[in-house]
Structures are given as structure tokens and as C-alpha cells.
Homo-oligomer: A and B are copies of this chain.
Amino acid sequence: MQETIQTEKKEHLILTGDRPTGPLHIGHYVGSLRNRVSYQHQYKQYIMIADGQALTDNMDNPTKVLNNVLEVALDYLAVGIDPSKTTIFIQSQIPELTELTFYYMNLVTVSRLERNPTIKQEIVMRNFERDIPAGFLTYPVSQAADITAFKASLVPVGEDQIPMIEQTNEIVRRFNRLVNKDILVECEAFVPEIGRLPGIDGKAKMSKSLGNAINLCSTAQEVTAAVRNIYTDPLHLKVSDPGHLEGNVAFMYLDAFDPDKEGLQAMKDHYVRGGLGDSVVKKRLEGIMQELLGPIRERREEFAKDKGQVMEILRQGTMRAREVAARTTDEVKSAIGLKYF
């Protein structure tokens, strides 16, 4: 009976991943990593360490990317992504992805790429102006190659990345129409309930370079210091003052991580009423963060003792992933007719 139910369930394949440009932090954890830990029990899951994509805006400093590949893998393993359930692979080691990119490039116009809202926004964020590397403008095409190579049907992304999924599906439809056969698979954006966490300073983006992140590999002392400095309510000067929850990062983090929703609600009510000091709120948050990050840190240190083993996990995942990507690439090239021998 159990078996019948399982085979009736739609078989989804998830592709997700990260650009290895810095250590992963609690923003990644709440927005994606912890979901991946549960997805791996429900779906077939591929996680890509996107070193090739990271190079599209870091070509002047490849070392930054390369040094973070192992770190990101350690973060994955530390949070509980299980390589026997999830295929973790390194993008640049699968040349077939660049082949697919090459052919898909003929299915997208330059003006379509220039209209991509994510790209437009990122161009501003990175101060590229007119000096956009061609690889950066076209990275949505490369992303389409990544997604379709594995025939992924679900792609967990932030709200801001939805245009990327639309771009991929446009390519899928154009290609299938061209060869008159459903070879590529359309995918759905899978937007998590909890979106982006702000940095501890209240700035929208949590990042290592802004110094406002709590990393998964932060020490207990670093966590303590970060929570002590967290942005709360600047108008809440005396304990007796009524406090505000809007823009209060301490409460935003509690919303994301506190499992005791009732206790948290009581605390919020007290804070708004007045009479509750920030230090009490921060103490609660610190306890929760230490409890979350302690075991992650320990597992990370354990895995870090044998980096050879971690690389072996990546090698095996990459080999498995490459087989799948090679099969799709072969189908794509055959459908166009690019098989001569």
C-alpha cells in the first residue's frame, strides 16, 4: 500500500546551488539550506557549486571563487545535506553545461537578455554600467543549461530570481518547438516562505563583505558579539519605553528561527507594551542561535578534518551529475542533428 502511494506521487527533480564566493550564513540557512535538508527526503535533489557562474563577475579574482568551493561543500555537509541522498557537484567540471549554453545562446536575443529584470538589477548592484562582461549578460542562458541538463522540474529561488526561471522556460519551449519533440523539461520556481534575512545591521543584504553576517562557521564568541550588536529599535531607549517590531532585526531573526511561536508572541507583546529590555530579547535570540549553530559548527569541524574525503564526495557527485548532463546534451545535439559519427 505504502509503495502504491509513493509511485503515484509526482517525481520531482530539484536543482539548486550557490555561487562559491564566500562562506554561507544563516540567511542561506533559513532561506534555502534547511529546506534542502528536508527536500532530499522527498525529491531527487542536485546541488550545484556554481564556480563557473561565480567567475562571470569574478574573473579578475578566480582564487576567491576556488577557495570557497570546499568551504561551501563543508557548509552543506554541516547542515545535514546527505551526499547519499543529494548529488552535490561542481559546475565547472561538467563541460556539457557549456555545450548546452553554446547552443541555447542561439535561441535568445540580446535584447531579451538586456530586459531580464534580475540582470538589470545586478548590473546596477555590481556597478558594471556599460562594462558588463559578456558572460555576465548571458549567465541566464548558462543557468538554463544547468537546469535543463538535469531536467529539473523544481528550482528553489528567491522572489528576485523568478525572471531567470521564465527565461529558462522560454528556451525550453523554443528548443522543443524547434526540434518538434519534448526533450527539455519546463521547471517551476519554488519560492520559500521565508525570504531574505537582513544583515545584523538591518541592511537588506547579509554578506561577508558588509561584515553584517552570522556565518554557519562563526565561532560561539562571534555569534555572541553579533547578537550583542544586532539592530533593534533605535527609539527603545529605556526598558520602560514601548518598543517597535518593524525593522527590528532581533525579532526578524526570532521569527525565522524560534520554534516556540507562542513564547515568542508573548515576548513581542511585552516588548511593544514597554517594560522589556533589548537585552532579554537578545538573550533569547542568542540561546536559539547558539543551539542552532553549535551542532552545525561541530559537524563542520569534523568534516574539515578530512578534506580529502570531502573532495571525494564532490568528485563522486560530479561524476554522477556529469552522466546525467551528458545524456541530455547528447539528446539535444542529436535532436538538432549534430551527430555525425
Interface residues in chain A, defined as those with a beta carbon under 8 Å from any beta carbon in chain B: 51-52, 55-57, 59-60, 62-63, 66, 69, 90, 92-93, 95-96, 98-99, 101-103, 105-111, 113, 130-138, 141-142, 178, 311, 314-315, 318, 333, 336-338, 340-341
Contact = CB atoms under 8 A, between A and B. Distances in A.
A63 B337 contact: yes
Contacts of A132: 109-111
A143 to B, nearest CB: 13
Contacts of A134: 105-106, 108-110, 113, 137-138, 141
B105 A95 contact: no
Contact of A340 (B63, B138, B314): B314
Given A96-B95, A142-B102, A62 B109 contact: no
Contacts of A59: 103, 106-107, 178
B99 A95 contact: yes
Contacts of A107: 59, 133
Contacts of A93: 338, 340-341
- A interface: dominant SS: helix
A133 to B, nearest CB: 5
11 contacts: A52-B103, A60-B178, A62-B336, A66-B337, A69-B340, A102-B102, A102-B142, A105-B138, A110-B133, A311-B340, A314-B341
A131 to B, nearest CB: 5
A136 B107 CA distance: 10
Given A66-B338, A315-B341, A102 B98 contact: yes
The 6 closest A-B pairs by CB, nearest first: A105-B135, A59-B106, A106-B135, A98-B102, A66-B337, A105-B134
A81 B101 CA distance: 33
